[in-house]
Amino acid sequence: MSSNQLTRVIYKADPMSTDEYIVIVNPEAYVSWRNGDKTIPLADVVESFQIMTSGQGQQGIMGQVSKQQMHAVFGTTKEDEAIVKLLEQGTMQAGSLKPNDKSSRNSSN
C-alpha cells in the first residue's frame, strides 16, 4: 500500500447520525476475510487494532473510540470483538491521504 493510499471500513450504527466508526484495513486481506476466509488472522486484516471516530462523519479530527462508546455501539468493551463486528457490518471505502502541507496553514513561518 503506498503511503498516500488508505482503505478503511466504515460502520454507521444509525443511518441518520453523523457518527461513523472506522478501522483502517489491508484491502486484499479484508476482501478475502469478508468473503468467508476466516483463517486469515485479524492482525493481517486490520492495519491497527484501533476503532476511530470523529463524531462528525467524514470531517473533523479522528480520535480513538472510548470504552463507553464501544460498548454502546458494539455491545462490548473488547476492542477485537468490536472490530470483528465493524468489519462484518461495515462498508469498505478506498481513499487517499492529502499531503500535510504545513506551509499553507501558517504563512508567518
Q: Kindly report, residue by residue over 12-46, the tens digit of the pLDDT.
A: 988 887 888 999 999 999 999 999 999 999 999 99
pLDDT of amino acid 62: 81
pLDDT of amino acid 109: 44
- Domains, the chain: 7-94 (3.30.1250.10)
Write out the chain in H/E/C secondary structure.
CCCCEEEEEEECCCCCCCCCEEEEECHHHHHHHHCCCCCCCHHHHECCCCCEECCCCCCCCCEECCHHHHHHHHCCCCHHHHHHHHHHHCEEEEEECCCCCHHHCCCCC
Higher pLDDT among residues 107 and 79, named by residue? 79
Does 82 score more than 90 pLDDT?
A: yes
Which range, 7-16, 61-70, 82-91, 100-109, is most confident? 82-91
